[in-house]
């Protein structure tokens, strides 16, 4: 079915066009790649996988409770609106929230694919182009997966959130080659990764857990790449140039914290916009969620050397400064291990089923003698 028929609201013009301003850069040096970047490129090639076969698409999903979200985690919970909802309405509200969340993941992944391709085009060094080419493929796979999940399992798609769209627009329009990294790999992907992780670690449903676990395995490489490339580059920038990047980060962080909350969903359930915003502000669960959303961004920003006073003050204001001390390396290693463990568990379960089948066949054969 065309996605057009599944949109909860009108998605705007398609294709959405963002004019490009940067140069395409060729490098004629084919033999001076940085070892760590080339190792990451090798890993990117080794760890390619096929979403059609690695994910068990036969697993059933209840679209009205796709993630097993507890009631208290719904922003309407405990309000007069909640009391008025029938059980059927509550299921519908869950479906819209899951759709909204995974639709932002989907559009974000398309953005990541386009940004990665832009990096292939604009980054000066060949080692970084090589890695970004593998990332472009990873992001295509992620968009494929989220699109399939929404089409087959949820049956409802939300348009891209206006603020996410404007951040993507700023990121892609900028002619400086490091801006797609900063906007996309550090901010948008950092935010997405934290959201993936929270769902992966809390959902009781096997299909979304599989999807998020495997996607996060790839994302760990993307984060490592963004950090390496930007850390090297930002060492060469002037104080003024660094401050410009910090301003961009501060603005982006506030925008995502305050404006990416699924207010659109509540509006579709008849809650006026201002009230919907106030409700998301008030919800204890969402407040915690918003703080955790920065768990991947803050340590990364600190690590690449954007840690000026203004930025630190903004993070104090958001209550997330101490996240800067988180061990990003460890988090990413865990993301990769979780995916490998899940593969091993699924393989062992299949093996057990196969052995049981053979034993049953032997037994029935023996009984027939």
Binding positions for Fe ion, rule: CB under 5 A? 109, 112, 139, 142, 189, 219, 222
- The Cα 194–Cα 319 span in angstroms is 16
Report the alpha-carbon distance of residue 78 to residue 82 in Å, rounded: 6
Residue closer to Fe ion, measured from CB, 75 or 134: 134
Of 122 and 280, the one with the shorter C-beta distance to Fe ion is 122
Separation CA 187–CA 184 (nearest Å): 6
Two tokens, residue 365? 């054969």
Residue 197 C-alpha from the chain's centroid: 9
Nearer to Fe ion, 212 or 271 (CB): 212
Hey, what are 232's tokens? 């090297």
Coarse DSSP helix, strand, coil percentages of the chain, rounded to the nearest 5 percent: 75, 0, 25
- Residue 324: CB minimum distance to Fe ion, A: 22
Which is nearest to 194 in space by CA: 212, 167, 207, 169? Answer: 212
For Fe ion, which is the closer residue by CB, 108 or 311?
108
* 113, burial (CB in 10 Å: exposed 0-12, middle 13-18, buried 19+): buried
Q: Which positions ≥6 away from 177 have C-beta within 8 Å?
A: 22, 25, 119, 122, 123, 124
Report the residue number, 47 or 243, with the smaller CB distance to Fe ion.
Answer: 47
Q: Is the dihedral of CA 221, 35, 307, 188 positive or negative?
A: negative
| Closest distance to Fe ion from the beta carbon of 218 (Å) | 6
The continuous run of DSSP H or E covering 294 comes out as none
Q: How far is the CB of 65 from Fe ion (least distance, A)?
A: 25
Q: Which is nearer to Fe ion, 153 or 221 (CB)?
A: 221
Q: For residue 7, what are the β-bridge partners?
A: 157
Minimum Å gap between C-beta 130 and Fe ion is: 16
Q: How far is the CB of 5 from Fe ion (least distance, A)?
A: 26
Q: Which is nearer to Fe ion, 195 or 271 (CB)?
A: 195
Q: Tell me how far, at minimum, the Cβ of 75 lies from Fe ion, in Å.
A: 26
**Alpha carbons 206 and 303: distance in angstroms, whole number:** 34
At its nearest, how many Å lie between Fe ion and the CB of residue 109? 5
Rounded to 5°, the CA angle 210-214-220 comes to 145
């Amino acid at each position: 079915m065309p996605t057009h028929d599944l949109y909860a609201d009108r998605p705007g013009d398609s294709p959405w066009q963002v004019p490009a301003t940067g140069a395409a850069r060729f490098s004629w040096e084919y033999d001076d790649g940085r070892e760590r970047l080339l190792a990451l490129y090798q890993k990117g090639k080794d760890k390619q996988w096929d979403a059609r076969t690695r994910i068990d698409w036969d697993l059933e999903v209840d679209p009205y409770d796709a993630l097993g979200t507890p009631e208290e985690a719904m922003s309407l919970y405990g309000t007069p609106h909640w009391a008025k909802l029938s059980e059927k309405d509550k299921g519908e509200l869950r479906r819209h929230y899951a759709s909204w969340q995974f639709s932002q993941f989907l559009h974000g992944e398309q953005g990541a694919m386009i940004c990665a391709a832009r990096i292939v085009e604009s980054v000066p060094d060949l080692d970084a182009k090589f890695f970004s080419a593998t990332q472009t493929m990873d992001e295509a796979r992620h968009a494929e997966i989220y699109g399939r999940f929404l089409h087959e399992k949820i049956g409802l798609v939300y348009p891209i959130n206006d603020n996410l769209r404007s951040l993507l627009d700023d990121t892609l329009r900028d002619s400086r080659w490091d801006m797609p990294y900063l906007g996309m790999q550090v901010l948008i992907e950092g935010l997405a990764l934290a959201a993936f992780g929270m769902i992966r670690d809390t959902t009781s449903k096997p299909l979304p857990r599989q999807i998020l676990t495997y996607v996060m395995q790839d994302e760990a490489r993307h984060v490592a790449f963004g950090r390496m490339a930007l850390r090297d580059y930002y060492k060469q920038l002037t104080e003024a140039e660094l401050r410009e990047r910090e301003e961009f980060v501060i603005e982006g962080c506030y925008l995502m914290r305050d404006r990416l909350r699924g207010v659109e969903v509540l509006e579709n359930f008849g809650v006026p916009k201002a009230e919907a915003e106030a409700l998301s502000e008030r919800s204890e669960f969402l407040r915690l969620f918003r703080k955790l959303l920065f768990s991947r961004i803050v340590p990364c920003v600190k690590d690449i050397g954007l840690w000026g006073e203004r930025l630190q003050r903004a993070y104090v204001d958001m209550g997330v400064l101490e996240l800067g001390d988180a061990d990003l390396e460890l988090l990413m290693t865990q993301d990769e291990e979780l995916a490998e463990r899940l593969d091993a568990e699924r393989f062992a379960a299949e093996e057990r089923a196969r052995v049981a089948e053979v034993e049953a066949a032997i037994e029935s054969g023996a009984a027939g003698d």
